[in-house]
Structure 1
C-alpha cells in the first residue's frame, strides 16, 4: 500500500495509527468503473476491465457513470454497476473464517436509471444479507460472515422484473481470527444473563460503531478501515456525562483487546459521570439510545473499556444495563485487564430488540465503590444485528435439552397411558351429563385465546394490551391455515419480500380470492415478539376505521406467528418522503396524509371507554394505499389508556428514539399526549423530508424536533422545508402548520393539544392552502353501532358517515370543513 510522505511522518509521531493487520483475502472492487479510484488511501480496481471483470460471473448488468458529480464527492462514487437481473460476483477464498463484506451504495441519476429507486436483495453463498429499498443517501452496508468454502458468491437480486439493484463498490477481506469468537458473549433478557454459544455461525450486520467521548474516526486511522462516529447525538442526558482523554497510547501488552478490535483513539477517550453536576445527586446513570428498525432481531452489543481515569487499581466498579436489564453488575476493569490500568478490553452481550424499537445502553456506579469514588465509564460501543439469528446457548444448556429429548418420550408415554385410562373411566360420567359446547382451540404452539377472555381483569385489560371478547370462539374466525399462507406467498419466496415488520420479514401475497395482502412472519419457533403478536391481534380484531390498517387474519400453527394485513401499495410514509424521488408528494397530498393519520389516531384515543395509546407513532408506521390514503399500522406496543379515575398509565418506556415523548421517558407515565408528541415529530418529518434522527448531520441538526423547533420559534420555518415544496406552500398555511407541530412538541403533556384538536387544525391548514372559506356545516348523523364501545362523538367524527348496508365508514372530502369550525384561527 502506497503511503505518502505526510502519512509517513505522521506515523513516526503516532505509531498507534498504523494499520498492522494484513488480511489473507482482500478484494476491493470499483463497480462499473474502468479506472482504479482510491478511497482513504486504498486502491479499488474497476470491475469493467480484467482481471476484476472476471469476478462478475452471472446475470445482466450495465456500467453507469454520474455525468455531473458534486465537486467534493469521492471518485469511488462516480460510477456504479446496475443489476437488471440476478447477478453474481465470485471470489476465491484462500483462508476460511470470518470475512468482512462491505457494499458502498451512493445513488445518483444516470440515463435510464435513477439509482435512488433501486429495490433489491443481497446474498452471500445463498444466505440472505439485506434488502435495499430506495437508497436516498450514501451508505455503507457492512457484514461479518463466516466462509467455510473456497469460493464466495455475492448475489444481487432485484425484487421484481421492473426494478434493479446497484453497487458503487465492494470490499471483501478476511477478518482477524479473534475478532468474533464463539465463547464469552452473554445473552441478556428477562430471564437473566447466560452464556451465548456459537457466535461465529451468525451473520452480523453493523448498525452502529461509536467512539464514546471522542471525535470522528475515519477508515484512514482504523486497521480494518472502519468509521467510528461521536456519541453525543445518542446521549440521553448530555449534562450527566463528562469527557476524559489521554495522550498516552493504550497498554496492549497486558492482553485483552487489540488494535483490530478498536483503534487507539477509541480507547484514549471516554465518557464518565459528571459528578460536578450537583442537580443529579451522587448516583446516576449515563444512558445512550440507539434507534433501530423494529424487526425483532437479536443484536450483538460490544462495549469497549479502557480505564484512563483511575489513579490506582480497584478504584472503579460500575454496573452495565442494556434495555433496562442488568447486564453486568460490579464490573471491575482491574480484574479483567490483568491488574493493569489503561488496558483496552471489551465485553460482548446479546440482546433482543423486540418491542423496544431502539437499544438503550447505560452505565452507572456500583455499591462496591466508596461514595467519593462513584464513577462509571464507556469508551466505545458497537451494535451489530444478527441476520436470521439462530438461538445458540451454552453447552450445558444444550446437554439439558438433549437429556430431555431422551427422557421426554418415556415420561410422555407414561403420562399418555394414564390419560387414556382416565378418559375411559370418565366416559360413562360424561354420557350422563349434558354436553357443553367446546371452545375452539388454536392448533398452534401457543393459543391466542390464552390472551383473550374479555373479562375486565384479563391479562390484556391492564397488561400490555386490551381486554378481548369476540364470542365463544374468540379470534377463531380470523384464523388462516398455514397451507393457505404458504400458497399465497409461494412458500415464502424471498423475491416477494417487501420489507421488515415489527418482528420479522414481510411478504407480498395473494390469497385464494385474489386479495393482495402483506404477510408478516415472525421467526418460526421463537417466542420473540409473542406479546406484540397477541397485542396486534387483540387490537385490530376490535377496531375498524378507514385510517387504521386492517387485519385480514393470523396463523399460529406449526410454531408460526404470522399476521396478514391488507396490502398497502405505496408502503410506509417514510419511503415517500426522503430523497429526490421521481414524483415527490405535493403539499396538499402531505396534508391529506397527515389528516388521515390524525383521524386514525383520534379514533384510537376516543373510540373506546379507556382509549388506546399507540405508543410507536412514526413515519414507518403510517402506511399509504394506492391512492395515498394514510392508515396507522403496527399496534404491537399499544396500551389501554388510563381509566376515568386515573391521569396516566405507569409503564416501562417503549417506543422509537427521536419520536419518544420526553415526559414519558422521564416519568414512565404514559398518556395519549405521548402519541401527540410523536405525531408532532412526524409533522416536521413530513415538512422537512428528513429522518427524526440523523447522526451524520451537524450536531445542531441531528434531532429533527429540536432543529425544527429552533427555526419555528425564530419564525423562519420556510428555511428548512423540503426543497420540493419551495414555492408550493401558502404562507398562512405554513404558519398554522408550524404552530400546530410546535404545540404537539410541548415539553409537558398538559400543554399539548388532543388529537382531536390537532386534526381540527390540520383541516384548517388545508383550507388555508386551497383557499376554502370556513363556513358552518350541519352535523352529520352517524350510526356508531359498528364501534365496540359507545363513547361521546368528538366533533372531528361528525364528518364521517356510514354506509349502513356494509357497516363501513367513509370520509367526506378533506376539502370540506368541520361543522364547528367558525373562525379563521382553527383552535
Structure 2
C-alpha cells in the first residue's frame, strides 16, 4: 500500500517516525506564521489510525496519481473525503523557501473557501508520505484530460477558472503568492466541470516592497518556465503569467500537438530554442494548430484567435505582459461574447 506497512506495529511506527513527525509539525507552524501573517486558520491533524478507520484500511478506487477518492470513506461528521498522498516529497528539509507539504497545507487553509481550490479538512503526517485531507462531498474529481474535453467552450472555461485562481493568489493577500507549478496534472475537475487548482507546495511569497524573489533551485517542469526563471531562478508574478500562457496554448493545440508545433521536446533534448504559435497565425492557418479532437462551431474560430493573441501577450511576445487579474477578466469577457 506504500504508506502503511502492515508488518510493523503502530508502536514501532510511532517510535521510528516521532522525530520526523515533530519536524513536520514544526514546519507546519512555521509555514502558517510565514504565510498567514498571524491570522488563525482551522487545520485538523489526524492520526494514522483515524485515516485507516475512515477508509476501512483499504482504498476503494484509484482515480489519478497520488490521489485516492474514498467512495465509502467518511471522516469529520461523516462527510465524504478525498485524500492526497504526497508521494515523492523529500523527508529532508527542502531547499529554498519551498517547504513542501507544510507549505501546501498552510496555503490550502488560506484559499480553502475559494471555488477554484480544493476545500481543506486537515492532514496526517504519521505515514511515510504525508496525507492531505480534503472534503469530497458528493463530487467526483478527475484530472484534466484534453482527449475527453472536445468542447472549445469547456476548455475556455477551464482557462478562465484557472486564471481566476492564480489571480486570487496574486492579489488576495498582503503579499502575493506565486504558484510556479503550472501544468495540466495539477488541475482537477469536479462533477460539474469546475476547475480546481491543486498542489500548492511550490508556492513562494514575494516579500513586501519587492517585485520578485530569487531562489537557489528552479524546479524541473521546463515547459512552463520563462527564461528569467530557468536561467536566473528569479520568481515574480510574471512567472505564473508565462506558465499560464503556455497552458493556454496547450488547451488550444492539445498537449501532443504542442510538442510537435513548438519543438519543446527538441529544446529539452537538443538545446534547440522552441518556436511559438505566432508563426502559424497567417491567413487561414489557424486550422493547422487547433487540436483536431475538438468539435468546433464556425463562430468559435474568432474566439480562438483572440485566445491565442492573449496567450502570446502572457508569454511576452506581444508588448507588455498583463497582470493575472487582467487575463482572468479578458477570458471572462470572451466567454460572455461566445454565449
- TM normalised by structure 1 equals 0.34
Whether contact under 8 Å (1:701, 1:707) holds in the other structure is no
Matched, 1:481 2:51: no
Candidates 312, 315, 336, aligned match of 1:745: 315
Matched, 1:535 2:103: yes
2:142 counterpart residue number: 571
1:698 to 1:548, Cα distance in 2 relative to 1, 3 A: closer
Among candidates 59, 63, 81, match of residue 498 of structure 1:
63
Q: Distance in 2 between matches of 1:470 and 1:448?
A: 20
Tell me the secondary structure at the aligned position of residue 603 of structure 1: helix
Aligned mates of 1:518, 1:552 — CA distance in 2: 10
Residue 511 (str. 1) matches residue 87 (str. 2): no
- Structural mapping, 1:376-455, within 5 Å: 445-451=21-27
Aligned residues: 308
1:648 match:
212
- CA distance, structure 2, for counterparts of residue 443 and residue 712 of structure 1: 58
- SS of match in other structure, 2:51: helix
Rounded Cα–Cα distance in structure 2 between residues aligned with 1:591 and 1:563 = 29
Residue 547 of structure 1 corresponds to 116
Distance 1:703 1:480, change over 3 A: farther
Describe the shift of the 1:524–1:630 C-alpha distance in structure 2 as closer, same or farther (beyond 3 A). closer
1: CA distance, partners of 2:156 / 2:266 = 23
Q: Give yes or no for contact 2:32–2:106 (8 Å, CA) kept in 1.
A: no
* Structure 1 residues 231-242: aligned runs within 5 Å: none
Structure 1 residues 154-553: aligned runs within 5 Å: 445-451=21-27, 461=34, 466-467=35-36, 469-471=38-40, 477-493=43-59, 496-500=61-65, 505-509=66-70, 510-512=73-75, 513-522=77-86, 527=91, 531-543=99-111, 544-553=113-122
Of the three residues 673, 677, 696, the one matched with 2:242 is 677
Deviation at 1:620, TM superposition (A): 1.2
CA RMSD of aligned residues (A): 3.5
Q: Is the 8 A contact 1:658 1:693 kept in 2?
A: no
Q: Write the mapping of 1:755-770 to structure 2, written as runs, cut at 5 A.
A: 755-770=324-339
Q: Which runs of 5+ in 1 are unaligned?
A: 1-127, 129-387, 390-408, 410-441, 771-827
Preserved contact between residue 101 and residue 130 of structure 2 (Cα < 8 Å): yes
Q: Deviations over 1:424-476 (max 9, x none)?
A: xxxxxxxxxxxxxxxxxx9972254413557xxx7973xxxx356354xx76x
> What displacement does 1:722 show?
1.6
Separation of aligned partners in 2, 1:665 and 1:593: 27
CA distance in structure 1 between the aligned counterparts of 2:263 and 2:315, rounded to whole angstroms: 17
- CA displacement, residues 306-336 of structure 1 (integer Å, 9 cap, x when unaligned): xxxxxxxxxxxxxxxxxxxxxxxxxxxxxxx
- CA deviation after TM superposition for structure 1 residue 752, in Å: 1.3
Cα drift, residue 693 of structure 1: 6.6
Tell me how far apart the structure 1 counterparts of residues 48 and 288 of structure 2 sit (CA, whole Å).
52
Find the partner of 2:226 among 661, 664, 667: 661
Where 2:64 maps in the other structure, the secondary structure is strand
Distance 1:488 1:524, change over 3 A: farther
Mark the runs of 5 or more structure 2 residues left unpaired by the alignment.
4-14, 268-273
Partner of 1:717: 286
Which residue of structure 2 lines up, in the alignment, with residue 251 of structure 1?
A: none
Contact 1:549–1:565 under 8 Å retained in 2: yes
> Could you say which structure has the greater relative contact order, defined with CA pairs below 8 angstroms and 6 or more residues apart?
2
What secondary structure does 1:725 align onto? coil
User: What's the offset of the Cα at 1:692?
Assistant: 8.3
Give the C-alpha shift of residue 597 in structure 1.
1.1
Offset of residue 679 of structure 1 = 0.7
In the alignment, is the contact (CA less than 8 A) between 1:452 and 1:469 conserved in 2? no
Q: CA deviation at 1:630?
A: 0.9
Secondary structure in structure 2 of the residue aligned to 1:666:
helix
Secondary structure of 2:293 counterpart: helix
Instruction: Check conservation: 2:64, 2:142, Cα contact below 8 A.
Output: no
Separation in 2, partners of 1:703, 1:671: 27
Deviation at 1:629, TM superposition (A): 0.5
Against the structure 1 CA distance between its residues 524 and 665, is the aligned structure 2 distance closer, same or farther, given a 3 Å change threshold?
Answer: closer
8 Å contact 1:452–1:468 — kept in the other structure? no
Give 1:657 shift. Answer: 2.3
SS at match of 1:445: helix
Kept in 2: contact 1:615–1:654 (CA 8 A): no
Distance of 1:674 and 1:602 partners within structure 2: 12
2:310 aligned with 1:735: no
CA distance in 2, matches of 1:525, 1:643: 29
TM-score scaled by length of structure 2: 0.78
Q: Matches of 1:548 and 1:492 in 2, distance apart?
A: 27
Superposed counterparts of 1:101-180, under 5 Å: none
C-alpha deviation, 1:533, in angstroms: 0.8
CA distance in 1, matches of 2:228, 2:108: 28
Change (3 A) 1:529 1:522: farther
Shift in CA distance, 766/522, structure 1 to aligned 2, threshold 3 Å: closer
Which residue of the partner structure matches residue 62 of structure 1?
A: none
**Structure 1 counterpart SS, 2:140:** coil
Residue 721 of structure 1 deviates from its aligned partner by 0.8
- Preserved CA contact (<8 Å) 1:613 1:675: yes
